[in-house]
Each structure stands twice: as C-alpha cells, then as structure tokens.
Structure 1
C-alpha cells in the first residue's frame, strides 16, 4: 500500500499561527479602513456643508428689500441683490467645483440666480436643510436657507461634490497606507516572536527525534529550563515523566523475564531429568513415582509464575490504582472461610480475632485478598507448631487498621525478618523444604505500599512464632 503523499500532512504549528496572525491583521486593516472612511466622510461632509452654508448666509446678506429691479437686471418685486455681473462670476467661481445659486421670494417667485435650481424641503422649526441633487448629469450638494424678514426669502446654493470625493479618497489612501505600514511592521514583529517562542519546542522535538529507542534518560535540563514559555517547560516535564514511566515499565518487564528464566530453570531441569529417568525404566511403580515428582515440580513452577505475575502487576498498578471504601472485617472473613478446608486437611487451628466489629478502610479488594492469601499460605507451609495454630487479628490503632497473621512456628530473628521482605529471600526452613521462591512477602509489601500502608515482621510475643502485620489507612481518618 503506497504511503500518503507529504502534501496531505497538516501544516506546521508556526505556519498555522502565522496564518491566523496575518489574517487577523488583514481583517483589522480592513475594518480600520472602513472606520476611517466612515469617520472621514462624516467630518469632510460637515466641513464642506458648513462652507456651503456660510456662502448661503453671505449671499442672503446681499439681498435687500424695495425697488423693482436689481443692479444686475435680474429679479423683480420688493427684493433685490446688490451684485454686479462681475461679483456674480466671483460668487460662482471655485477652483475645483461648479457653483449654482438662486433666490426665491416669499411666494416662491424667482428673484435671481439660476433658473431651475429648485429649493429643498426645510423641516418645521429649522432655518436650513442639506440635500442631494442631480443637475446636468452631475451630483450636487444643495443647501436651502430660509431667511426671516420683511419680506422673507429663500436662498438656495448648490455645488458639485468632486472635491469632497477627491479629499475623501486621499484620506482613505494615506490612512490606509499608514495602517498597512504599521501592520507590516507589527506582523513582522509578531512572526519573529512566534518563531522565537517556538524555537524551544523545535529543539525539544529534535532532541526526541534523535534519540535511540533504548535511551530513556531524562531530557537535558537546558531544553526545558531555558524555554521562554511555561507550556514548553510543562511539556518537557511531562515527557520526562513519560520516559520515567516507560523506563520503569521496561525495567519491570526485564526483571520479570529474568526472574521467570531464573526460577523456571531448576524445575524444568528437574522435570526433564525425571522424565528421562522414567523413560529409561520399565517398572510402572517408577513411572508413577517420577510422574508424581513431575506433577509437584510443575505445581511449584506454576506457583512461581503466578507470584511473578502478581508482583509485576503490583509494580505496574502503582501508576493508577482506584481505592474504595470497604469493610475489611467482611472481606477477611470470606477469605478465611475459603482457606478453612485446607487448614483442616493440614491439621492447623485457623482462628480469627476482631472480626465482630465493622472496620472500614480505603483499599482494593483484589490486593487485600492477595495479601491474605500470601500471608496465610506462608503460615500454613512454614508455621508448624505443636499443635500448629494460626490466628488472624484485626485491630484499629490510631488512624490505621492493622491486619496481622500470627503462627506458632519457629519464627525468625529481626535481621532475617528484614531480609525476607526482599525478593528471592528465603529462610532456612524455606530452603530446606524446597517450597516457594521468596516472593510472597515482597508481593505483600508491594500491595500494602500501593494502598498507602506497609508490612512489618516481628516475633510472636507469647511464645515462638512469627507475626506478619499489615497496616492500612482507616477510612475517614
């Protein structure tokens, strides 16, 4: 199956961030230009409208009452305009715009100016009004001024809007170019900052990519301590934690494989030797004897493997273990009832103390059963007193619950008790009996540790024997 082409790979983080930054800047530039255009149009229109209104007031000041004809020969009635033809030309003059004007009497009769320049509508209570007008194919801006007097009259002035449009365009171009220059500078600065801030992440990626699969040592501290972002530092810490967990897991797997290979070598060699000896004999009694030995060797090997697996699960279980509140006295009673037939077959007096009161602990039921099974199995195999007796006791001491298994066997001294908590450690009796592999107590200690407790071995106080005590945090303490 062909590999997917590189073009389908997602873009790099710096590219995605850079694109979003540039798009955001372009959007800001567009919105800024729109705001400048709107504000500029408003104030430019105000300035030109004010100038047009001032011209209308100036023209109204030249309108007088009386007489039938003005000096220019235009208009009739009681109103006249004191303007010569030259002054009229000056009034119409503008370097870039064309100006029209008209004066109307109180009855709407034309007095002077340009015919056809109609007056606009002025709202009641107002003296003037601005409006748009089309004349001779041109867009005009018109002001209509109502002048009160005796008699009253209306002045209309209009001019083209080319200068307004030109001024607004220049405002938009200059402001847009200035904003664009600022955005280019800001975008360059932001892109350099993104590149600088992502450089530790790139170095971290390169350091991980160049590592050998067997190299699980923590990352160099310089990669995380010199990072400019706490996020990169936390990522480095998280990677170190992941490497530590993987290293711990691999160590546990190697140790498990080595332990299995070491412990199964002897029983497998014995099974092979017994099978070879049985095949070389013709006596069925020998066959039966050797087969019985093979069965016992297989049982010891199976038990060793079960213990090794339990220990490996305990080591891995330390990563995440959900503890629950449970009644320890009920769980202990159930385990004792299951082991009573075995104790009776061995002639062992298996008793209990302190199970009549409710004791709640924060623990895991499977680990508690594993602890009891290992402790009682050790006591049943090694604690042979006269007569053999095993007592399981449950006590609450302060903020802890103590689960103890006591036997009346030969016991161990303090130095050996500490050594038995280690893997593969066995006492003289265990070596002499040839049972077990020295893993049971180390499994118990690991289980107790996972639940926030511990294991202690001590001589019995009222005679020979050994007391194995597991203390666990009491629920609610």
Structure 2
C-alpha cells in the first residue's frame, strides 16, 4: 500500500519570509481605527457644542445680574444729573456672593464717570445699536468673563459685571469626561458586535478554503452543494461558483488531454506495429527488391500515422477552441479560392476534375479563417480519397440561403446511405470505402462537424441529387443577412 501526503506549496510572501495578515485581522484593524477616529471626532463635536451652550447659559445669567444691578441705579435730585447705586452694604455682599466664582461689578455714568463698584473694572465697548456686549478680560491675574450693559436714558449709564470662569471650565470638563466615557462604552460594544459579525461572515470563506485545501489533486468534482448554500454572503457564493467553473474547465481540459493521449496510443499502435514488422521482414531478407517494397510500405505507414496525428491534434484544438475563439468577418469566396488552388496539383495527379461554383460574388461570414481552412482541407481530402467514381469529379459550391451561407463539397463517388451518414459524424467511424483503402482514422468529418459547431454552424451529409455521390454541406451564419 502506498501512502501519499500533500505538501502545501508556499506562497511568494512565505518564501520571502513575510506572512501577510489575515483578512479578518485587516478588516478588524480598519474597523477599530474607524471607531477610534469617530470617537475622537464625536468628543470634539461634543466639546464644541457643549462649550457653546454652557457659555450661553452662563452669559445669560451674567446679563440677568447686570439687569438686576441696573434696576438699583437711581438718579439724583430732580433736574440733576447725579447718579447713585441704591444698594446697602449687605445687598452688595449678596450681589458678590457665589459659591465657586468671584464677582466684580462697576457702574459708570455719562462720559465714563465712575459711580460705584470696583474702580479698576473697566467697561467694554458696546456696539452702536446694541444694548450689551460680552468680552474676555484679564483682571488681577485671572481670566474673567465680562458683560457691559448700556442703559439709555437721561442720564444714561453703563453697568459692568464680570466673574471668573472656573465653573465653566469645570462643567465643560465633566461634560467631556462623561460623554467621552459613554461614547467609549458604546464604541466598545459596537466594535465587539462588528468583530463578531466579521468573524461570522468570514467563517464560510474559511470553510471553503479548508474544503479546497484538503482536496486531492485528482478530485475535480464540484464543491458540495451544502457548502455553497451555507455561504453567508453573495461574494462567497460567487467565489464558490467560480471555483466550480474552474474545476469544470480543468476537468474538461484533463479529459481532453487523456482522450487525446488515448487516441494517439490507440491509433498509432497499429501503424507502428506494421512498421516494426515490415522492418524486421526486410532485415531478414537479402533481396533488394524486397527491401524496396518494404521501405515503400514503411513510408506509406508513416504517412498514415503522421496524418492521423495531425487529425488528432486538430480535434484536440477544436475541443479546446470553444474557450477562447475569436470570430471575424471574412470573405469566404476568396478563402475557398485560395484553398482550391493549393489542391489543384493533387487533383490533377489523381485525374480528378476539381471545379467550383458561386465564387464570383463576395460572400462574408463571421468565422475563423483557420477553422474554415481546416474544414475545406478535410472535406477536399476526404473527397479526393474516397469520392472517386468512374469519371472523378469534385465540385465546391458556395451559396447564400436566407440568413446562412452554405459551403458544399460534392463528389460522384459511391456515396453513403442516411444511417451511415449520421454515423460518419462520430469519431473513428468509417465507411466501407475507408475500411477497404485503410488510409483513414474516421476523424476528418468529426473535426469538420466540431469546427462548424464552434462557429455557430452545422455539417450535413446528403446523397448527390444527379447520380451517385456524397454532398458535404457546412451551414454558417451570414455576416450580412438579406432583409
């Protein structure tokens, strides 16, 4: 018993000592990086929005205090311009009281005359048409938030209120910490959920990888249907279908190679055995005439073997041609004329009347020039070998019938019946004439049929209408069908 072990083939990156990251790791890193960036951006947005609304709230409270202070500013005696702040020392203390902030205030009359409060607290600039203005102020080494409230009247005056910003800063800091921790907790939960989802969605891909990796090199069967149905995403399903298609193409190619090798071995066994027997018989004789006779037989056997190999190669190319066959518009009448000129000398040597019909007008088809030459070569070769009657005659005709172009090769040989005509389209099938002559392998017509099929056409074998013979017709789509 022989045990075989599969050795994994190292990739290029492994051969160079570099291990590429796993797909789930790469996606996970990108997801986590995106979440961290979102968390940072969200914290910045929260800080900006919180700072705006906190400043609005504190500024509104500071402005209310300024209005309350302005309500206690009284004018002097009737007709006088003197102003005074009507607050007792106890009320002034209550005005300055704050649990976390230090408050300053000042009242200025017309022309900036100081009325009451803190003399060193200057008033800010109030824009024309506005009643108050907020501004930042550095006072006694502290950062203050100041509001200047202008009261129009007779006389007019300005109230200035200012306080430190420690409570604002502390409130913003708490807002940032609490919102940042809440966002971080949400992002951790979201990141865990996304990573589990990535792991779950990539699991069918891992299963598919294991199924392919554990296969033997000779196992080209499609992937199990259950494995394809368990694919969690359309991409994995498409990958499974692509792998099935690749396995089918590889299996088809291997089948064609094995068939070609078997055909070659089968068809060359007989001529090679004959060559060996004739060579052995010639070596056992002393008569030069026998030598020459055996050498002629060896030459003919070699020619038959060479022709068989050429046909087998053509059939293999036809089997593989459907994978990447490029069709183009060609002038079929010109191609037929060129091929006929190459066969004239052989036809003259055999005493065959080789003629053509319908080559005067241009007839275009969508086809491959190489395959069309192969079709004509095989049909003319078969007609010259097996279609010779008492007065050998072969006619190549080109006709347009509706949406098709019909290329026919007719001979006046013995012909075949309908049952044999269908059997001749298969490989290795020969008629009585071919068996009697012993020159063919039964591949020519099958090659023609396969070539025609690859170009969207078909091959038909019919008896001649005006006497004995065979008409081999190839129907091809017309490049410019008639309206």
CA distance in 1, matches of 2:105, 2:17: 69
Q: CA deviation at 1:77?
A: 7.7
CA contact under 8 A between 2:13 and 2:20: conserved in structure 1? no
SS of equivalent residue, structure 1 residue 119 = coil
- What is the TM-score of this pair, normalised by structure 1? 0.95
CA distance in 2, matches of 1:461, 1:334: 27
Counterpart among 285, 288, 292 of residue 288 in structure 1:
292
* 1:43 equivalent in structure 2: 53
The Cα offsets for residues 350-388 of structure 1, whole Å up to 9 and x where unpaired, read as 111111122111100000000000000000000111100
Q: CA deviation at 1:63?
A: 0.8
SS of equivalent residue, structure 1 residue 59 = helix
Q: Which runs of 5+ in 1 are unaligned?
A: 68-75
* 1:411 equivalent in structure 2: 415
Counterpart among 89, 113, 118 of residue 122 in structure 2:
118
Q: Give the root-mean-square deviation of aligned CA atoms.
A: 1.8
Q: CA deviation at 1:438?
A: 0.8
Greater Cα shift, 273-282 or 342-351: 273-282
* 2:3 equivalent in structure 1: none
* 1:81 equivalent in structure 2: 85
CA distance in 1, matches of 2:140, 2:440: 115
Q: Which runs of 5+ in 2 are unaligned?
A: 1-9
Q: CA deviation at 1:6?
A: 8.9
Q: CA deviation at 1:430?
A: 0.8
Counterpart among 189, 200, 216 of residue 196 in structure 1:
200
* 1:55 equivalent in structure 2: 65
CA distance in 2, matches of 1:398, 1:246: 39
* Residue 462 of structure 2 is aligned to residue 458 of structure 1: yes
Counterpart among 205, 208, 211 of residue 207 in structure 1:
211
* Residue 30 of structure 2 is aligned to residue 20 of structure 1: yes
* 2:5 equivalent in structure 1: none
- What is the TM-score of this pair, normalised by structure 2? 0.94
The Cα offsets for residues 401-425 of structure 1, whole Å up to 9 and x where unpaired, read as 1111111111111111111111111
* 2:40 equivalent in structure 1: 30
SS of equivalent residue, structure 1 residue 476 = coil
CA distance in 2, matches of 1:392, 1:56: 114
SS of equivalent residue, structure 2 residue 326 = coil
Moved over 6 A (4+): none
* 2:6 equivalent in structure 1: none
SS of equivalent residue, structure 2 residue 427 = coil
Counterpart among 63, 66, 76 of residue 66 in structure 1:
76
SS of equivalent residue, structure 1 residue 448 = helix
* 1:173 equivalent in structure 2: 177
Distance change (3 Å), C-alpha of 1:5 and 1:471: closer
Q: CA deviation at 1:349?
A: 0.5
Q: CA deviation at 1:61?
A: 0.8
* Residue 450 of structure 2 is aligned to residue 446 of structure 1: yes
Residues 16-415 of structure 1 mapped to structure 2, 5 A cutoff: 16-66=26-76, 78-415=82-419
